[in-house]
Structure 1
Protein backbone atom coordinates (compact mmCIF):
# COMPACT_ATOMS: atom_id res chain seq x y z
CA UNK A 1 0.00 0.00 0.00
CA UNK A 2 2.84 2.39 0.75
CA UNK A 3 4.24 1.97 -2.77
CA UNK A 4 0.78 2.89 -4.14
CA UNK A 5 0.81 6.04 -2.01
CA UNK A 6 4.27 6.99 -3.27
CA UNK A 7 3.40 6.34 -6.90
CA UNK A 8 -0.07 7.94 -6.84
CA UNK A 9 -0.35 10.40 -3.95
CA UNK A 10 -3.42 12.19 -5.38
CA UNK A 11 -5.29 8.92 -5.89
CA UNK A 12 -4.42 7.84 -2.37
CA UNK A 13 -5.61 11.18 -0.97
CA UNK A 14 -8.84 10.91 -2.95
CA UNK A 15 -9.39 7.38 -1.60
CA UNK A 16 -8.87 8.55 1.99
CA UNK A 17 -11.27 11.48 1.45
CA UNK A 18 -13.92 9.18 -0.03
CA UNK A 19 -13.61 6.83 2.93
CA UNK A 20 -13.92 9.76 5.34
CA UNK A 21 -16.99 11.02 3.47
CA UNK A 22 -18.58 7.55 3.57
CA UNK A 23 -17.93 7.37 7.32
CA UNK A 24 -19.48 10.79 7.88
CA UNK A 25 -22.56 9.89 5.80
CA UNK A 26 -22.99 6.67 7.79
CA UNK A 27 -22.63 8.56 11.09
CA UNK A 28 -25.18 11.22 10.05
CA UNK A 29 -27.57 8.89 8.20
CA UNK A 30 -30.55 9.57 10.51
CA UNK A 31 -30.23 13.34 10.18
CA UNK A 32 -29.70 13.13 6.43
CA UNK A 33 -32.85 11.01 6.01
CA UNK A 34 -34.88 13.60 7.98
CA UNK A 35 -33.64 16.52 5.86
CA UNK A 36 -36.32 16.34 3.10
CA UNK A 37 -39.07 16.77 5.72
CA UNK A 38 -37.44 19.89 7.10
CA UNK A 39 -37.95 21.93 3.92
CA UNK A 40 -41.72 21.51 3.70
CA UNK A 41 -42.28 21.58 7.47
CA UNK A 42 -40.30 24.80 7.96
CA UNK A 43 -42.05 26.52 5.06
CA UNK A 44 -45.54 25.49 6.21
CA UNK A 45 -45.00 26.49 9.86
CA UNK A 46 -43.24 29.77 9.18
CA UNK A 47 -45.71 30.83 6.47
CA UNK A 48 -48.63 30.02 8.78
CA UNK A 49 -47.08 32.10 11.56
CA UNK A 50 -46.27 34.96 9.21
CA UNK A 51 -49.72 35.01 7.64
CA UNK A 52 -52.13 34.15 10.47
CA UNK A 53 -50.27 35.02 13.67
CA UNK A 54 -48.51 38.18 12.51
CA UNK A 55 -51.22 39.15 9.99
CA UNK A 56 -48.86 39.93 7.09
CA UNK A 57 -49.99 39.80 3.45
CA UNK A 58 -49.39 36.75 1.25
CA UNK A 59 -46.70 38.35 -0.93
CA UNK A 60 -44.58 39.30 2.08
CA UNK A 61 -44.97 35.86 3.67
CA UNK A 62 -43.99 34.07 0.44
CA UNK A 63 -40.80 36.11 0.28
CA UNK A 64 -40.21 35.56 4.01
CA UNK A 65 -40.19 31.74 3.72
CA UNK A 66 -38.40 31.50 0.36
CA UNK A 67 -35.45 29.12 0.49
CA UNK A 68 -32.70 28.14 -1.92
CA UNK A 69 -34.28 24.69 -2.31
CA UNK A 70 -37.51 25.02 -4.29
CA UNK A 71 -40.85 23.66 -3.12
CA UNK A 72 -43.04 21.71 -5.52
CA UNK A 73 -46.46 22.48 -4.07
CA UNK A 74 -48.07 25.16 -1.94
CA UNK A 75 -51.67 25.48 -0.77
CA UNK A 76 -53.00 28.23 1.51
CA UNK A 77 -56.50 27.26 2.66
CA UNK A 78 -57.55 30.66 4.06
CA UNK A 79 -60.96 29.38 5.19
CA UNK A 80 -59.47 26.80 7.57
CA UNK A 81 -56.17 28.70 8.03
CA UNK A 82 -54.22 25.63 6.93
CA UNK A 83 -50.99 25.68 4.91
CA UNK A 84 -49.82 22.60 3.02
CA UNK A 85 -46.38 22.53 1.42
CA UNK A 86 -44.65 19.84 -0.65
CA UNK A 87 -40.95 19.70 -1.36
CA UNK A 88 -38.26 17.08 -1.94
CA UNK A 89 -40.93 14.39 -2.11
CA UNK A 90 -42.44 15.14 1.29
CA UNK A 91 -45.56 17.06 2.30
CA UNK A 92 -46.33 18.85 5.59
CA UNK A 93 -49.09 21.11 6.79
CA UNK A 94 -49.53 23.66 9.55
CA UNK A 95 -52.78 25.00 10.93
CA UNK A 96 -53.61 28.10 12.94
CA UNK A 97 -54.91 26.99 16.36
CA UNK A 98 -55.77 30.29 17.98
CA UNK A 99 -54.59 33.68 19.07
CA UNK A 100 -52.64 32.39 22.06
CA UNK A 101 -51.46 29.08 20.58
CA UNK A 102 -50.42 30.30 17.13
CA UNK A 103 -49.75 27.69 14.42
CA UNK A 104 -49.10 24.00 14.88
CA UNK A 105 -47.31 21.65 12.53
CA UNK A 106 -49.48 18.61 11.83
CA UNK A 107 -47.81 15.20 11.94
Structure 2
Protein backbone atom coordinates (compact mmCIF):
# COMPACT_ATOMS: atom_id res chain seq x y z
CA UNK A 1 0.00 0.00 0.00
CA UNK A 2 2.87 2.39 0.79
CA UNK A 3 4.26 1.91 -2.69
CA UNK A 4 0.90 2.83 -4.25
CA UNK A 5 0.71 6.05 -2.21
CA UNK A 6 4.25 7.02 -3.19
CA UNK A 7 3.71 6.25 -6.87
CA UNK A 8 0.29 7.90 -7.19
CA UNK A 9 -0.14 10.60 -4.52
CA UNK A 10 -2.81 12.57 -6.44
CA UNK A 11 -4.94 9.51 -7.05
CA UNK A 12 -4.67 8.58 -3.38
CA UNK A 13 -5.65 12.11 -2.36
CA UNK A 14 -8.68 12.00 -4.69
CA UNK A 15 -9.82 8.69 -3.19
CA UNK A 16 -9.48 10.04 0.36
CA UNK A 17 -11.39 13.21 -0.59
CA UNK A 18 -14.16 11.14 -2.19
CA UNK A 19 -14.52 8.94 0.89
CA UNK A 20 -14.69 12.02 3.15
CA UNK A 21 -17.27 13.66 0.87
CA UNK A 22 -19.43 10.53 0.77
CA UNK A 23 -19.23 10.25 4.56
CA UNK A 24 -20.29 13.89 4.98
CA UNK A 25 -23.13 13.40 2.47
CA UNK A 26 -24.37 10.37 4.38
CA UNK A 27 -24.40 12.35 7.64
CA UNK A 28 -26.31 15.22 5.98
CA UNK A 29 -28.68 13.02 3.95
CA UNK A 30 -31.85 14.31 5.66
CA UNK A 31 -30.98 17.95 5.03
CA UNK A 32 -29.86 17.25 1.46
CA UNK A 33 -33.09 15.35 0.75
CA UNK A 34 -35.19 18.31 2.02
CA UNK A 35 -33.34 20.92 -0.06
CA UNK A 36 -35.40 20.63 -3.28
CA UNK A 37 -38.62 21.21 -1.33
CA UNK A 38 -37.21 24.33 0.32
CA UNK A 39 -36.74 26.13 -3.02
CA UNK A 40 -40.39 26.02 -4.10
CA UNK A 41 -41.74 26.48 -0.56
CA UNK A 42 -39.66 29.62 0.02
CA UNK A 43 -40.68 31.09 -3.33
CA UNK A 44 -44.41 30.45 -2.84
CA UNK A 45 -44.53 31.65 0.78
CA UNK A 46 -42.39 34.77 0.38
CA UNK A 47 -44.09 35.84 -2.85
CA UNK A 48 -47.51 35.39 -1.24
CA UNK A 49 -46.45 37.48 1.76
CA UNK A 50 -44.90 40.17 -0.42
CA UNK A 51 -47.90 40.39 -2.73
CA UNK A 52 -50.88 39.93 -0.43
CA UNK A 53 -49.65 40.94 3.02
CA UNK A 54 -47.28 43.79 2.10
CA UNK A 55 -49.38 44.76 -0.99
CA UNK A 56 -46.35 45.15 -3.25
CA UNK A 57 -46.56 45.03 -7.07
CA UNK A 58 -46.09 41.66 -8.78
CA UNK A 59 -42.86 42.69 -10.55
CA UNK A 60 -41.29 43.78 -7.27
CA UNK A 61 -42.24 40.53 -5.54
CA UNK A 62 -40.86 38.40 -8.39
CA UNK A 63 -37.54 40.19 -8.00
CA UNK A 64 -37.72 39.79 -4.23
CA UNK A 65 -38.02 35.99 -4.36
CA UNK A 66 -35.57 35.44 -7.25
CA UNK A 67 -32.91 32.87 -6.34
CA UNK A 68 -29.83 31.37 -7.93
CA UNK A 69 -31.65 28.06 -8.26
CA UNK A 70 -34.34 28.64 -10.90
CA UNK A 71 -37.98 27.63 -10.53
CA UNK A 72 -39.72 25.80 -13.36
CA UNK A 73 -43.31 26.89 -12.83
CA UNK A 74 -45.01 29.80 -11.13
CA UNK A 75 -48.74 30.54 -10.83
CA UNK A 76 -50.16 33.61 -9.09
CA UNK A 77 -53.91 33.11 -8.69
CA UNK A 78 -54.94 36.68 -7.79
CA UNK A 79 -58.63 35.80 -7.55
CA UNK A 80 -58.09 33.25 -4.74
CA UNK A 81 -54.82 34.83 -3.48
CA UNK A 82 -52.89 31.58 -3.93
CA UNK A 83 -49.36 31.15 -5.22
CA UNK A 84 -47.91 27.90 -6.57
CA UNK A 85 -44.20 27.52 -7.29
CA UNK A 86 -42.45 24.48 -8.78
CA UNK A 87 -38.76 23.79 -8.84
CA UNK A 88 -36.33 20.86 -8.66
CA UNK A 89 -39.19 18.40 -9.09
CA UNK A 90 -41.25 19.68 -6.16
CA UNK A 91 -44.28 21.98 -6.01
CA UNK A 92 -45.64 24.05 -3.11
CA UNK A 93 -48.64 26.32 -2.69
CA UNK A 94 -49.11 29.22 -0.31
CA UNK A 95 -52.43 30.97 0.29
CA UNK A 96 -53.44 34.20 1.95
CA UNK A 97 -55.67 33.40 4.93
CA UNK A 98 -56.55 36.90 6.08
CA UNK A 99 -55.18 40.13 7.48
CA UNK A 100 -54.34 38.60 10.88
CA UNK A 101 -53.03 35.24 9.65
CA UNK A 102 -51.10 36.32 6.55
CA UNK A 103 -49.91 33.63 4.13
CA UNK A 104 -49.38 29.96 4.93
CA UNK A 105 -48.05 26.98 3.03
CA UNK A 106 -50.85 24.59 2.14
CA UNK A 107 -50.50 20.82 2.54
- Scaled by the length of structure 1, the TM-score of the pair is 0.97
Aligned mates of 1:58, 1:2 — CA distance in 2: 64
Across the aligned residues of Structure 1 and Structure 2, the Cα RMSD in angstroms comes to 0.6
Question: 5+ unaligned residues in a row in structure 2: which ranges?
Answer: none
TM-score by length of 2: 0.97
**Deviations 1:26-84 (CA, angstroms, capped at 9, x unpaired):** 11111111111000000000000000000000000000000011111000011110000
**Which residue matches 1:41?**
41
Structure 1 residue 106: Cα displacement: 1.0
Over 4 Å off, 4+ runs:
none
Which residue of structure 2 lines up, in the alignment, with residue 106 of structure 1? 106
In structure 1, list runs of 5 or more residues that go unmatched: none
Aligned counterpart, 2:79: 79
Superposition deviation, residue 7 in structure 1: 1.1
Q: How many residues align?
A: 107
